[in-house]
Every structure is written in structure tokens, then in C-alpha cells.
């Protein structure tokens, strides 16, 4: 490989040499094309015949350059050296414009310097350009200043053929974080205790392999971090490297796809070769689903060939080393269900480490961890913020803290307060407040009734979370208003009654619109979607339908990403499921209508209050709800 590279360099150099020589020959030729030598006497005749248009005298060597009148070729003539004292008189007589130039003897006249500039300089420039391009490529692959590229590796087809300077590109793509250089430890990961416990064992094994080998225990070869996006999988892997103090090779599956088209298998081989040389070490393949997708049984249809080769190479490499050598494989994915089963069978990624969305305590811990990076008021109740941000991932929470800080700056405050964080949750969930959005009073009133409909039904039915905040300030993500409910505690199991109460609450916004305005708007579209999803899940997956009982009628395709489902029943059954979903939602809707009709006075009072205030808190809501009714309540305007 080394030799190959040198050859390429020689070839490149030769091409350059020829190019420069050619330029040196052609440029003067091109010049002399328009320049013609003549004798001095010839020049004098032309002057006397008044044919000369312009004269330029080179003061240094008394060479005369001149052009002729009526010369369509616009040639410049050049005489030999001649010291003519009468020249000026002659020219004046012939009425010729003339100038004298005295050119400082140029440094370019020095052949050595000329050589330097015309020959070596371009060479330096080109080599600089090459190095820079290479660095760009490396940065693109790495992005972290701590990586180093280790030479060596195989030479399976250097696809970038040609330039020697690119040689390294084919070699190694994995970033090598030496030791603690990721700068991230388990302290930087809040919550996720289960995942950390699992990983601590791996770290311990890398630090004291003897402890394990003495008993005869072998480490699992690979551990797969699975969980929704933004839960800290990548962060955890980096923390492992930081804790273990061993080299950390990290590569993302998408890099295989984007950067190494046609070379995936070679990359994998190279990655493992490096890892074996550096053992004990950690190899981390992020987003492994991009290369580890299930292979289709029926011979591939061309396009997937490459990915399959990459995957096969990965499988072969995993079989090829034994865990006692101290190479630990980590991988992360949020689509474990699409991985090829061969990847997850024993002896490969046989340990699965779930990295789930954080629970209440986890959310609080993550908020507090990220809040350390900002200036904030000491009396922020992070528990309240954590409860309001139910369902958020670690990345969302980090984002909430940052948005909160931005809000504080916008308000000209020096520190972040509770209010900023609560507003930040809304920004992250619902988008920013749409300043200056034009909403007609009529629309605003509809939205107020709609939201109070949700809140009132939630408050009046058992099994629902308390109302935390209601707002009818439009948001950039499209919501015209929303009602925020915050659970008292984290709930992992939901009973049928609780789920049903949720559906009733979803339908209550539209129910209020119907009762008060006897009209339907498009504002309920999201409610409808949510209600339908939930009702379907109750029937097809949670076994809560009296007709179907505990039959799985749908399977979830991607539990961590959106969770779309596919039917697992006959079309006839599917039709009956649809019917049952419709009935369930209708029933919930009727119940919502009933609750609202029973509390019509409060509905009016609360909606009017919200219409005026635009945002009300849960306490304000509860206060009005529970205070004795006013003597008279007018109907809707």
C-alpha cells in the first residue's frame, strides 16, 4: 500500500511537471505571436513615412516597441538595441506619440526566483489544497477534535483513485477517542440507572479483566442500546469510553451509507482490524439499524447487495474475535425490531440494554443536570416542571432548559425562573406563541369554549389528571389553544376506566363547540386523531374489548418511533374492529356532552374568563369551578 501511494505521487508529480513546462513554452509563444522583431532602420523608415502610431521606449535597454497606424492585426514591433540620440526629434517631427518606460529590473528576471514562482509555488499550493481537502473529509467523518487517524488497514479498493493525498481516506473511518478524551462520564447521564448498571459491568471488565476470567466468565461480545430517540444512547456509549479509559472507536451506521458507498464491507474489516490492534477497547456502532436491517430471504434485488455485504462482514467479524481479548462492541438503535435476527442471536449483540424514556424522577434529574449549565433562580421547583413535561425524552428536556434560558434573555432577566421553564415546555411541545396572529373574536370565543370543554370534562370525571394550565394563545405549530394536564404521579399502568376517561376528555372540546355554537370546526382534528388511536389500541392491543377479549389484533411496528401498527387479523375482523372503535368514541362523546350540559353555567363562566385572560392556571380554573354559581348567567354571544 505504501508503495502504491508513492507511485501515485510520482505520477502526479510528473503530470504537474509537464503541465508547467508546457505553460512555460506556450505563454511566450502566445506573446510573440503579437510581437514582431524588425530592424532599427525599418523602424526609422516607418517613422519617416508617418506610418507609426505610437512608440514606447524601454529606458533600460533602449529597445523600441511601436505600433502602426491602419494595422488591423494590431501588431507590436520590436527593434533591436539602438542608442539613437536624435530619436526624440525624429519622433516629434513625425508627430508620433511616444513614452518612455523605465522598468525596475524585476525580481522575475532572476531565473532562480522565476523558477520558484512558476514552478515550486504551484506545487506547494496543490499539496496544501490536497491536505486541506483530506482534513475536510476527516472532519466530516469525525467532527471531534480528539480523534486521531491510525494508519494501516487493508487496501480493498481505494475508491477515490488518483490522488495520492487521499490515500488515508480509504483506511480508517472510526474515530479513536483515546482514553478519557470524550470528556463524558456517567455523571453526565442523569437517570437511566438500569442502563448504567449494565454498562458499569462492561467498564469493570475492561478495567479488571482478570476478575472475570478467573471465574471463567466471559463478557457478552456485544451490547445493544435500544430506546426512543433522544434518550441518551449515544451519550451513554461515550460515557462508557470516558469511564473505562480505553480507546473508543465510534462510527455511525449512516456514515457507512453516506460516505463509504461501495466500501462498507472493507470499512468494517478495517474497523475491527484497528480495534484488535488497540484492544482492550470499545467499538461503538451508532444507528446500527442502517446497516443491520433484516436481510430479505429471497435473493437481494440488486440495490441491497452492498448493505448485505456490509452486514455479512460485520457478522463475520463478530464471530472472529473472542470476548476475552477485550474488544467490547456497543451499538445503538431506536428500531430494534428491524434488525436482522442474526445480529441479536447469542454470541453477537446478545445483551440488550433498554434506554427508555425517563420517568418522573429521571426527568427531574435530567432537568437539574442541564440546569447547572444556566443561571437560574434557586426556588425553581423542578418536580413541577418534570411532571408537566411527561413523555419528554432527555433531549427534549435539555431543549426545555435551553429554551427557558432564551426566554429569560428575551425578557431581559439575568436568571431563569419557573415561569420560563413552563413556557419552554409549551414551546417544545406546542411551538412558540404566534405573536400578532390574527384571530377573530368569534374564533377566539370558539377556541375558549373548546378548551374549557376539555378542562371541565377532565375535572368532572374521575380518573383524569388535574388541569394545570389552559391557554388560547395560538402557537406556531398550529394549535389555537390547549389544555395542559399534569399527572400527580408517574403512571405506568392505565386502567380501562382511565383510558376511557381520556377519550371522553379528547372528545369534550368538540362537544362544547356543538352545544354552544351548534357548529363543527376543524379545530378538533388532533383530538379526533388521539381519541381514535387510543380507542383502537384499547380494542386491538390492550384486550379491553368485550367482543374480542385478549386477542392481539394489531402489532406495533416501531415501538420507539411513532408506533404505527399493522393489522394482524382477517378483513372481516378488521371491519368489526372499526365498528367497535366508532361505537366507543361515540359513547365517549355522548358522555362528554352530558357532563357539559350538566355544568352549562360553569362552562359559560369559565369560557368567558378564559376569553378575557387568554391564559389561566389550574388553580384559577379550580377556583371558578368550585365557587358558588353566579346569580344569572347569560347565554353565548
Using CB under 6 A, list all residues that contact ligand ADP. 189-192, 229-235, 332, 366, 369, 394-395, 398
Q: At what angle do helices 600-613 and 571-598 cross, to 10 degrees?
A: 90
Residue 527 touching Zn ion (CB under 5 A): yes
Beta strands in 416-466 (DSSP E): none
CB of 399 to ligand ADP, least distance (A): 8
Q: Which is nearer to Zn ion, 244 or 455 (CB)?
A: 455
- Give which of Zn ion, Mg ion, ligand ADP, none residue 385 binds (C-beta under 5 to 8 Å, depending on kind): none
Q: Which is nearer to Zn ion, 169 or 452 (CB)?
A: 452
Q: At what angle do helices 441-460 and 571-598 cross, to 10 degrees?
A: 100
Q: Which stretch binds Mg ion (CB under 5 A): 226-234, 383-391, 439-447, 550-558?
A: 226-234
Which residues in the 17-76 window bind Mg ion by CB under 5 A? none
C-alpha 592 chain-centroid distance: 42
Strand arrangement of the beta sheet that strand 63-68 belongs to: 35-38, 76-79, 63-68, 52-58, 97-101
- Give which of ligand ADP, Mg ion, Zn ion, none residue 610 binds (C-beta under 5 to 8 Å, depending on kind): none
CB of 358 to ligand ADP, least distance (A): 6
CB of 334 to Mg ion, least distance (A): 8
Dmax over Cα atoms in the chain, in whole Å?
Answer: 124
Q: Which is nearer to ligand ADP, 350 or 356 (CB)?
A: 356
Helices (DSSP H) in 389-440: which residue ranges?
394-410, 418-430
CB of 497 to Zn ion, least distance (A): 21
Residue 253 touching Zn ion (CB under 5 A): no
Residue 580 touching Zn ion (CB under 5 A): no
- Give which of ligand ADP, Mg ion, Zn ion, none residue 395 binds (C-beta under 5 to 8 Å, depending on kind): ligand ADP
Per-residue DSSP letter, 169 = G
CB of 257 to ligand ADP, least distance (A): 17
CB of 291 to Zn ion, least distance (A): 42
| Dist CA 450 CA 458 (whole Å) | 13
- Give which of ligand ADP, Zn ion, Mg ion, none residue 331 binds (C-beta under 5 to 8 Å, depending on kind): none
Q: Which is nearer to ligand ADP, 357 or 455 (CB)?
A: 357
Residue (of 514, 510, 506) closest to 536 by Cα position: 506
Look at residue 501 and give its three-state secondary structure. Answer: helix
State which residue has the least CB distance to ligand ADP.
394
- Give which of Zn ion, ligand ADP, Mg ion, none residue 509 binds (C-beta under 5 to 8 Å, depending on kind): Zn ion
Count the residues of the shown chain that bind Zn ion, applying the rule CB under 5 A.
2
- Give which of ligand ADP, Mg ion, Zn ion, none residue 527 binds (C-beta under 5 to 8 Å, depending on kind): Zn ion
- Give which of Mg ion, Zn ion, ligand ADP, none residue 340 binds (C-beta under 5 to 8 Å, depending on kind): none
Q: Which is nearer to Mg ion, 234 or 485 (CB)?
A: 234
| Dist CA 613 CA 606 (whole Å) | 10
- Give which of ligand ADP, Mg ion, Zn ion, none residue 599 binds (C-beta under 5 to 8 Å, depending on kind): none
DSSP string, 563-581: T-EEE-S-HHHHHHHHHHH
CB of 210 to ligand ADP, least distance (A): 32
| Dist CA 154 CA 114 (whole Å) | 43
Residues 6 or more apart whose CB falls under 8 angstroms from that of 490 comprise 359, 360, 361, 390
| Dist CA 168 CA 177 (whole Å) | 18
Q: Does the active-site annotation cover 451?
A: yes
Count the residues of the shown chain that bind Mg ion, applying the rule CB under 5 A.
1
Q: Which is nearer to Mg ion, 284 or 482 (CB)?
A: 284
> Residue 636, Cβ neighbours under 10 Å: how many?
14
- Give which of Mg ion, ligand ADP, Zn ion, none residue 467 binds (C-beta under 5 to 8 Å, depending on kind): none
| Dist CA 484 CA 390 (whole Å) | 11
Q: Which is nearer to ligand ADP, 332 or 429 (CB)?
A: 332
Residue 228 in contact with residue 394, Cβ under 8 Å? Answer: no
Q: Which stretch binds Mg ion (CB under 5 A): 134-142, 230-238, 452-460, 555-563?
A: 230-238
Considering only 172, 182, 234, 252, the residue that binds Mg ion (CB under 5 A) is: 234
Q: Which is nearer to Mg ion, 234 or 250 (CB)?
A: 234
CB of 323 to ligand ADP, least distance (A): 25
Q: Which is nearer to Zn ion, 397 or 588 (CB)?
A: 588
Active-site residue, from 403, 451, 591, 605:
451
Which residues in the 504-523 window bind Zn ion by CB under 5 A? 509
256-260-265-267 Cα dihedral, nearest 10 degrees: -90
Query: Cell digits for 191?
Result: 437517570
End-to-end CA distance of the chain: 84
CB of 394 to ligand ADP, least distance (A): 2
Beta strands in 91-201 (DSSP E): 97-101, 175-177
**Could you tell me what percentage of the chain is helix, strand and coil, using 3-state DSSP and rounding each to the nearest 5?**
55, 15, 35
The Cα-based distances of 336 to 268, 296, 389, 565, 624 in angstroms read 20, 16, 26, 15, 49
Strands 76-79 and 327-333: unpaired
Q: Which is nearer to Mg ion, 234 or 599 (CB)?
A: 234
The Cα-based distances of 184 to 230, 234, 241 in angstroms read 16, 11, 8
Which residues in the 193-222 window bind Zn ion by CB under 5 A? none
Look at residue 409 and give its three-state secondary structure. Answer: helix
Q: Which stretch binds Zn ion (CB under 5 A): 51-59, 227-235, 501-509, 549-557?
A: 501-509
**What is the total residue count of the chain?**
637
CB of 232 to ligand ADP, least distance (A): 3
Q: Which residues bind Zn ion (CB under 5 A)?
A: 509, 527
Q: Which residues bind Mg ion (CB under 5 A)?
A: 234
Active-site annotation, residues: 451
Amino acid at each position: 500500500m505504501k508503495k502504491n501511494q508513492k507511485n501515485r505521487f510520482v505520477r502526479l508529480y510528473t503530470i504537474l511537471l509537464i503541465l508547467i513546462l508546457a505553460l512555460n513554452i506556450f505563454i511566450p509563444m502566445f506573446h510573440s505571436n503579437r510581437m514582431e522583431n524588425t530592424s532599427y532602420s525599418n523602424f526609422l523608415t516607418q517613422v519617416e513615412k508617418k506610418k507609426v502610431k505610437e512608440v514606447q521606449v524601454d529606458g533600460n535597454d533602449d529597445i523600441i516597441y511601436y505600433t502602426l497606424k491602419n494595422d488591423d492585426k494590431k501588431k507590436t514591433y520590436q527593434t533591436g538595441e539602438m542608442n539613437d540620440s536624435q530619436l526624440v526629434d525624429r519622433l516629434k517631427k513625425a508627430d508620433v506619440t511616444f513614452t518612455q518606460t523605465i522598468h525596475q529590473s524585476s525580481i522575475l528576471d532572476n531565473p532562480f526566483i522565476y523558477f520558484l514562482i512558476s514552478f515550486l509555488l504551484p506545487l506547494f499550493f496543490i499539496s496544501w489544497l490536497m491536505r486541506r481537502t483530506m482534513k475536510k473529509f476527516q472532519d466530516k467523518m469525525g467532527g471531534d477534535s480528539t480523534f486521531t487517524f491510525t494508519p494501516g488497514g487493508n487496501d480493498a479498493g481505494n475508491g477515490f483513485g488518483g490522488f495520492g493525498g487521499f490515500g488515508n481516506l480509504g483506511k480508517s473511518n472510526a474515530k479513536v477517542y483515546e482514553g478519557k478524551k470524550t470528556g463524558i462520564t456517567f455523571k453526565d447521564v442523569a437517570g437511566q440507572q438500569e442502563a448504567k448498571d449494565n454498562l458499569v459491568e462492561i467498564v469493570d471488565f475492561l478495567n479488571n479483566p482478570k476478575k472475570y476470567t478467573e471465574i471463567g466468565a466471559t463478557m457478552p461480545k456485544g451490547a445493544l442500546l435500544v430506546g426512543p430517540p433522544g434518550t441518551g444512547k449515544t451519550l451513554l456509549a461515550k460515557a462508557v469510553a470516558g469511564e473505562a479509559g480505553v480507546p473508543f472507536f465510534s462510527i455511525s451506521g449512516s456514515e457507512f451509507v453516506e460516505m463509504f458507498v461501495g466500501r462498507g464491507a472493507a470499512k468494517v474489516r478495517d474497523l475491527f482490524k484497528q480495534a484488535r490492534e488497540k484492544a482492550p477497547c470499545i467499538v461503538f456502532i451508532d444507528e446500527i439499524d442502517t446497516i443491520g436491517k433484516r436481510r430479505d430471504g429471497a435473493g437481494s434485488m440488486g440495490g441491497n447487495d452492498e448493505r448485505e455485504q456490509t452486514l455479512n462482514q460485520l457478522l463475520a467479524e463478530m464471530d472472529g474475535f473472542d470476548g476475552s481479548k477485550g474488544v467490547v462492541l456497543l451499538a445503538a438503535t431506536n428500531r430494534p425490531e428491524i434488525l436482522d435476527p442474526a445480529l441479536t442471536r447469542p454470541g453477537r449483540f446478545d445483551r440488550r440494554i433498554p434506554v427508555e424514556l425517563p420517568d418522573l424522577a429521571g426527568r427531574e434529574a435530567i432537568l437539574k443536570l442541564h440546569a447547572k449549565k444556566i443561571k437560574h433562580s434557586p426556588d425553581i421547583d423542578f418536580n413541577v416542571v418534570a411532571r408537566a413535561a411527561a413523555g419528554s425524552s432527555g433531549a427534549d428536556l435539555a431543549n426545555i432548559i435551553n429554551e427557558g434560558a432564551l426566554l429569560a434573555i428575551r425578557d431581559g432577566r439575568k436568571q431563569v425562573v419557573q415561569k420560563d421553564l413552563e413556557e419552554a415546555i409549551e414551546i417544545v411541545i406546542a411551538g412558540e406563541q404566534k405573536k400578532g396572529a390574527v384571530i377573530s373574536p368569534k374564533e377566539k370565543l370558539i377556541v375558549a369554549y373548546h378548551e374549557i370543554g376539555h378542562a371541565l370534562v377532565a375535572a368532572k370525571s374521575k380518573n383524569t389528571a388535574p388541569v394545570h394550565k389552559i391557554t388560547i394563545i395560538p402557537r406556531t405549530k398550529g394549535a389555537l389553544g390547549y389544555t395542559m394536564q399534569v399527572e400527580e404521579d408517574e403512571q405506568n399502568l392505565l386502567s380501562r376506566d382511565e383510558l376511557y376517561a381520556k377519550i371522553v376528555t379528547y372528545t369534550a372540546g368538540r362537544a362544547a363547540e356543538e352545544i354552544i355554537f351548534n357548529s363543527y370546526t376543524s379545530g378538533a382534528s388532533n383530538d379526533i386523531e388521539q381519541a381514535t388511536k387510543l380507542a383502537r389500541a384499547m380494542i386491538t392491543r390492550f384486550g379491553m374489548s368485550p367482543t374480542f377479549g385478549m386477542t392481539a389484533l394489531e402489532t406495533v411496528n416501531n415501538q420507539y418511533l411513532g408506533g404505527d401498527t399493522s393489522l394482524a387479523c382477517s378483513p372481516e375482523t378488521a371491519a368489526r374492529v372499526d365498528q367497535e372503535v366508532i361505537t366507543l368514541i361515540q359513547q365517549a362523546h355522548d358522555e362528554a356532552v352530558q357532563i357539559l350540559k350538566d355544568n352549562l353555567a360553569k362552562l359559560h363562566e369559565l369560557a368567558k374568563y378564559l376569553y378575557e385572560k387568554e391564559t389561566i392556571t389550574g388553580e384559577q380554573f379550580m377556583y371558578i369551578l368550585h365557587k358558588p354559581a353566579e346569580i344569572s348567567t347569560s347565554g353565548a354571544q
